[in-house]
Copies of this chain bind each other. A is one copy, B any other.
Amino acid sequence: MRETLKSLFTKYGFTDAKASLLSQTYTNSTIDGVNSHGINRVPLFIEYIEKGQVDINAEAQKVQSLGSIERWDGKLGPGIINAVKCTDRAIELAKEYGIGMVSLRNTNHWMRGGTYGRRAADAGCIALLFTNTQPNMPPWGGKYSRLGNNPLIVSIPRKEGHVVLDMAISQFAFGKIKDYGLRGKKLPYPGGWDDADELSNDPEKILGNERGLPIGYWKGSALSMVLDMLATILSAGDSTAKIGKKEFESGISQVYICIYPKLFHDTEIQENLLQEIIDYTHNVEPMHEGDRTYYPGEKTLLTRAKNTKEGIPVSEEVWTKILQLAAQK
């Protein structure tokens, strides 16, 4: 998969280094089971390049640097490449100062946000990352979508497997809702508003108008709004309000905060404290038969182990499309 993608990205004009980084990132997300933001997303990424939404030659540039905080401009380059650069810079700031922040404007979709949380954790850093998006959820009390699902990532380095929360502020991704619909199933909980302005768990009723439900109703609505505010003002970039006026989601704003906890010189104590929390939440009777609890990121590691051993399940249709894109160019 990595080689096929690398050859594809090379054909589309990326340098060897950038084609390697992109193909590795898309492949890793797919190994981890996040096909929606891995292999499945490659054709759309190529389409955005073709349409000029993503500038393959753009390099993110530092705009302002003030101690432990920096502002960068993504120049509408590929979201993955910009995100890797800003994550690495936030890691450097954290290692220098203890905590560091990079804000990034004019970037594009970073695909799976957890990629950068894991990257920071591999470097021994705690990360707190978020992005804004196009509007896809109504603010609580309002009728039309004015909030993004603004994914939030929190990662914590851990020898036995990093803790990585990678969560959009919507209750369900629209891709997930579509999957339920295709299987003729209802969502287990309400996921959006229907045509009659009522909350619904029926994919058919909520897929028509993109009005998703924030986690915790008014609470997620408020959380989504402050994440957009922070990403926008810290980067002096485009807010969900501005992104919503564009034809395609592009030129979004992001924040990368890293903390380097090894500075406290008690990594073993920290590992034990983490394990204590994991044990406490693992060792609990299930709510219903067959239930079990996981720490954030645990299921991803299980999927990665399975796919590494057995091979990565990929939709035939998606793979064919990718081979076609490579052949056409």
**Binary contact readout A202-243 vs B (1 if CB under 8 angstroms, 0 otherwise):** 000000000000111101101101101110111010011110
Which residue among A138, A219, A236 has the maximum number of chain B CB atoms within 10 Å of its CB?
Answer: A219
CB pair A146–B280 under 8 Å, yes or no, is yes
Q: Does A321 contact B (CB under 8 A)?
A: no
Hey, which chain B residues are within 8 Å of A292, CB to CB? 141
When chains A and B are docked, how far (Å) is the Cα of A22 from the Cα of B178? 53
CB pair A139–B263 under 8 Å, yes or no, is no
Q: Does A44 contact B (CB under 8 A)?
A: no
Q: Does A257 contact B (CB under 8 A)?
A: yes
**Binary contact readout A274-306 vs B (1 if CB under 8 angstroms, 0 otherwise):** 101101110011111001111110000000000
Q: Contacting A222 at CB < 8 Å: which of B277, B288, B296?
A: B296
Hey, which chain B residues are within 8 Å of A229, CB to CB? 156, 163, 273-274, 277
Hey, which chain B residues are within 8 Å of A181, CB to CB? none
Interface size on A, residues (CB 8 A): 80
CB pair A147–B281 under 8 Å, yes or no, is yes
CB pair B270–A233 under 8 Å, yes or no, is yes
When chains A and B are docked, how far (Å) is the Cα of A72 from the Cα of B126? 19
Q: Does A327 contact B (CB under 8 A)?
A: no
CB pair B144–A284 under 8 Å, yes or no, is yes
A–B complex contacts, Cβ < 8 Å, 10 sampled: A97-B99, A126-B230, A142-B293, A144-B284, A156-B229, A156-B230, A165-B222, A216-B216, A226-B296, A232-B274
Closest 9 CB pairs of A and B: A215-B216, A69-B98, A142-B284, A241-B280, A141-B291, A67-B98, A233-B270, A222-B296, A68-B97
Tell me the A residues contacting B by CB distance below 8 Å.
Answer: 64, 66-69, 71, 96-101, 126, 128, 138-144, 146-147, 154, 156, 163, 165, 167, 171, 189, 193, 197, 214-217, 219-220, 222-223, 225-226, 228-230, 232-234, 236, 239-242, 244, 257, 259, 261, 263-264, 266, 269-270, 273-274, 276-277, 279-281, 284-288, 291-296
